[in-house]
A and B are shown apart, each in its own frame.
Chain A
Amino acid sequence: MDPTAIMSQLITGLSIASILLLVALGLAIIYGSTGVINLAHGEFVMLGAYSAWALQTFFSLNLFQSLFFIFVLTALLGWIIERVVIRHLYARPLDTILATWGIGVISIQAIRLSAGGELRYVEMPSQLASSVSFLGVDVSAFRIFILIFSAALFILTWYLMFKTSFGVKLRAITQNPEVASSFGINSDRIFGLTFAYGAGLAGLAGALISPLKSVYPEMGTPYVIDAFFVVVLGGVESLMGTVFSAIILGELTSFISFQSNDTIAKALVLLAIVILIRFRPQGLFSSKVRG
């Protein structure tokens, strides 16, 4: 491989990583603090993408104009689902998998019945449709935008978790629910908001990737798998770990698919994750295992 090719793969990897981070961040927050593996996370991504499509088609808003609405919409939906279903299941982790899976099925079918099963397309904002030359490699401006946007979202999330009273409360509940409640922290409210925030992030992720990929009801499934693996690799307690593992997985996928093909790349990454869960369930960047 010559240097330009390597550079090109590196940048592709980084671009994949930024999308992974975008998708995984919401899942990481929810899983890390409430212990719920939200298998419907991919469907939130899908709903975000469909919202972008709907806002574009019926209200002729471009992607930038819709982002705020999409965040609010998916966050609200996440909050409702947490209040109606998830909150009954915090003591039954296995059942959360099943219930969220069911919610995923419901979302997919609801979209199928309302928006139809055919592929939908979302237009890229015209300002970012060009490509930029970066270190001798042509990179799409939109992909660079995603990279910056996901970095910004990450910093925002980090700030939220570590510098605000909401974050302090959330971490207190995660570490010791009983003590937290004796200090008058309302874990119900906090968990509801956390779920909403995580769902909102997924919605944003879906909206942002919608111009790059085709939009269809089942599009979320691959993302939930990828996102889950980013979270497991990074360690559930570590936000920084999520970034590192997104980069590692992005680069791995990029280079393996360059050497062989996408399918093999996918299969190998999955296998690596299985082995990781078996031998280091706490992830690479954390010392704590989620019970």
Chain B
Amino acid sequence: MSAVIEKESELTINTGAKRFGNTTSQVITYALVCAAIFLVPSIIDDAYLLNKFSTYLIMGMLAIALSLSWGYAGILNLGQALSFGLGSYCMAMTLKLRTVPVHTGSEGLPDFMVWNNVETLPLIWQPFHSFTFAVLAGIFIPVLFSMLLGWFMFKGRVTGVYVAIITLAVLVVVNLLIIDQQRITGGFNGITDLATLEVFGFEFDAYGSSAYYLIAIFLTICLFLALAITKSKTGKIFQAIRDHEDRVRYFGYDVANYQVFAIGASAAIAGLAGMLYTIVMEFASPTFLGVKISLSIVIWCAVGGRHSLLGSMLGAIIIVGMQGSLSESETFLETWTLVMGFVFVIVVLFMPKGLAGAVESLILKIKSRNQE
């Protein structure tokens, strides 16, 4: 098969062998997709549907985050949901403390603590009275945690399969601990009955267009920031590390530092996505940092095309969107997951570049035909 590819490349060396699209056309495409996302509320006026769309966008952010670390830097982080969950808990904690009627006791205690016979607000909850602190924590706790884990792995030259296993194991550990520490975390039920987010007197209702726009704005920012990272020299070094980790060392780069940064940047996006998810779901739950979500993110990126930020994001939005429209029926949803399993295996086997890769080669083919 490789012989065929080589032959083809000789013939088309001036078209097929070049990189697909230049930066300008890429930026325009990305901007067009974002513009389309902003137009959605003017078409849809069903609050329930808009809320659903908001969650799809958040899943898109998660896919961007994994595309950055896995697609670009080669770090298959099976614990991506960890950052997502930590972010969502930070937001839930501060919103819980703002919930008015649930407070009891002298300082005001969240309801589940009262049920668990907790008498004073645990120390770890105290700073979450401040909304600013919570927002910072929702980004920096996942970032620091991931960077620490990355430092622990990458300074020890842990690679490939073992990175996947360690990140998965750590995710499971944190998940177990959160369920176990019911008095602080709400255990299985998570943190529910939250106040609506209000910033500068402006309310972000989970079912209103304001929350949708908030998410769309952050999605756009994250998408373009991630794009900027991949276009910088650091981004190119990421890709070099992905292809030949050892070779990069012999140029004089401390590879571990780059990997730690990649996993940290990816955690920042995932943490932010987690906070937004709490706002639209109006609760936080241990399932947010479950193995299932982590697997789903990997599937979205693989199917959408992990080497493309936009492809991964659209992969997530389309898959979750289709799933959402089927979710009316339990059997449909089960069948859907079955079908997704098959699609995933087929993509892994035959389409390592995902849908984005397929679209790219299709466009290139059309272009070269037009030139003839």
A and B directly contacting (CB within 8 A):
yes
Flag whether A261 is at the interface (Cβ < 8 A).
yes
- Alpha-carbon distance between A96 and B97 when the two chains are bound, in angstroms: 45
Tally chain A residues at the interface, Cβ within 8 Å. Answer: 36
- Comparing A101-109, A150-158, A177-185, A204-212, the segment that makes contact with chain B is A101-109
Flag whether B176 is at the interface (Cβ < 8 A).
yes
Known contacts A95-B348, A273-B169, A278-B153; A113 and B338 CB within 8 A of each other: yes
Residue of A nearest to B153 (CB): A278
Q: B231-275: which residues lie under 8 A (CB-CB) from chain A?
A: none
A167 nearest CB across to chain B (Å): 25
* Complex interface bits, B283-318 against A, C-beta within 8 A gives 1, otherwise 0: 000000001000100110010000000000000000
Q: B320-372: which residues lie under 8 A (CB-CB) from chain A?
A: 331, 334-335, 337-338, 340-342, 344-345, 348-349, 352
B164 touches A94 (CB 8 A): yes
A93 touches B156 (CB 8 A): no
* Complex interface bits, B159-177 against A, C-beta within 8 A gives 1, otherwise 0: 0111011100110110011
Q: A267-290: which residues lie under 8 A (CB-CB) from chain B?
A: 267, 270-271, 273-274, 277-279, 281
Residue of A nearest to B291 (CB): A221
Which B residues are in CB contact (< 8 Å) with A281? 158, 162
Flag whether B219 is at the interface (Cβ < 8 A).
no
B180 touches A264 (CB 8 A): yes
A278 touches B341 (CB 8 A): no
* Complex interface bits, A111-135 against B, C-beta within 8 A gives 1, otherwise 0: 0110000000000000000000000
A252 nearest CB across to chain B (Å): 15
A80 nearest CB across to chain B (Å): 13
Which A residues are in CB contact (< 8 Å) with B176? 263, 266-267, 270
- Alpha-carbon distance between A277 and B340 when the two chains are bound, in angstroms: 31
B16 nearest CB across to chain A (Å): 23
Known contacts A264-B180, A274-B170; A98 and B348 CB within 8 A of each other: yes
The secondary structure that dominates the A interface is helix
Flag whether B48 is at the interface (Cβ < 8 A).
no
Which B residues are in CB contact (< 8 Å) with A99? 345, 348-349
Size range of the chain B interface in the assembly? 35 or more
Flag whether B66 is at the interface (Cβ < 8 A).
no
Residue of A nearest to B174 (CB): A267
A106 touches B345 (CB 8 A): yes
Inter-chain contact total with CB atoms closer than 8 Å: 97
A93 touches B180 (CB 8 A): no
B335 touches A98 (CB 8 A): no
Flag whether B20 is at the interface (Cβ < 8 A).
no
- Alpha-carbon distance between A97 and B165 when the two chains are bound, in angstroms: 10
Residue of B nearest to A81 (CB): B345
The residue in A93, A228, A267, A279 that gathers the most chain B C-beta atoms within 10 A of its C-beta is: A267
Known contacts A105-B337, A105-B340, A113-B331; A94 and B180 CB within 8 A of each other: no
Known contacts A103-B345, A105-B340, A274-B166; A267 and B161 CB within 8 A of each other: no
A267 touches B162 (CB 8 A): no
Known contacts A99-B348, A261-B180; A278 and B295 CB within 8 A of each other: no
Flag whether B276 is at the interface (Cβ < 8 A).
no
Which A residues are in CB contact (< 8 Å) with B76? 94, 97
* Complex interface bits, A57-92 against B, C-beta within 8 A gives 1, otherwise 0: 000000000000000000000000000010011000
A109 touches B153 (CB 8 A): no
Flag whether B152 is at the interface (Cβ < 8 A).
yes
A114 nearest CB across to chain B (Å): 10
A278 touches B158 (CB 8 A): yes
Flag whether B179 is at the interface (Cβ < 8 A).
yes
Residue of B nearest to A31 (CB): B161
- Alpha-carbon distance between A102 and B347 when the two chains are bound, in angstroms: 10
- Alpha-carbon distance between A112 and B336 when the two chains are bound, in angstroms: 12
- Alpha-carbon distance between A87 and B246 when the two chains are bound, in angstroms: 27
Which B residues are in CB contact (< 8 Å) with A94? 76, 160-161, 164
- Alpha-carbon distance between A106 and B96 when the two chains are bound, in angstroms: 38
B345 touches A277 (CB 8 A): no
List residues of A whose CB falls within 8 A of some B CB. 37, 85, 88-89, 93-95, 97-99, 101-103, 105-106, 109-110, 112-113, 221, 225, 228, 232, 261, 263-264, 266-267, 270-271, 273-274, 277-279, 281
Q: 5 shortest A-B CB distances, which residue pairs?
A: A109-B338, A106-B341, A105-B341, A102-B345, A102-B344
11 intermolecular pairs with C-beta atoms under 8 Å apart: A93-B160, A97-B161, A102-B299, A102-B342, A106-B342, A109-B337, A109-B338, A225-B169, A263-B179, A274-B170, A277-B165
10 A-B pairs besides A95-B348, A98-B302 with CB distance below 8 A are A93-B161, A95-B349, A99-B348, A103-B341, A263-B177, A267-B173, A273-B169, A277-B165, A278-B152, A278-B156
